Amino acid sequence: MKKFTNKLVYIPSFVTDEIDPKNEEDGKAFGNMDFYVTVPGVFHADLTIVQSEEMRKAYLAKKSQYLQILLFANKCQRKISAQALVFLEIRRMEEANRWFLLFGDFFDEKGRWK
């Protein structure tokens, strides 16, 4: 949609009670914001219109929290991928060594038939 407009505006289709991210009583409501603040429309919009300055702060807090979680997950995924790659390389080396031990008498040091 962004390709076809100069400014993409997102307006939530509902009004909620005011949510203060710092207030413990609003903890559940702030948690529920995951379902309507972390949607693609909010992230891709050039402008998001909310009902009040307090909700603007709550949206910004939730988006910030969500982005931190994504960055942490991305770092973990890269670390896991690197560990898996090392593990795969070790397994390949072990398999090659096992193959050589089983059939070493038939191959020379370059892996060709004797």
Q: Helix, strand, or coil here: 67? A: helix
What residues contact 89, with CB distance under 8 A and at least 6 apart? none
Across the strands, what pairs with 10?
Answer: 48
Instruction: Supply the pLDDT for residue 55.
Output: 92
Sign of CA dihedral 46, 48, 53, 57: negative
Over residues 95-114, the mean pLDDT reads: 55
Q: Which of 19, 105, 5 is nearest to 58 (CA)?
A: 19
Amino acid residing at 27? G
Q: Is 48 helix (H, G, I), strand (E, B) or coil?
A: strand
86-101 pLDDT, tens digit each: 555 555 555 555 555 5
- pLDDT tens per residue across span 28-73: 999 999 889 888 888 888 989 999 999 999 999 998 888 888 777 7
What integer is the mean pLDDT of 9-13? 89
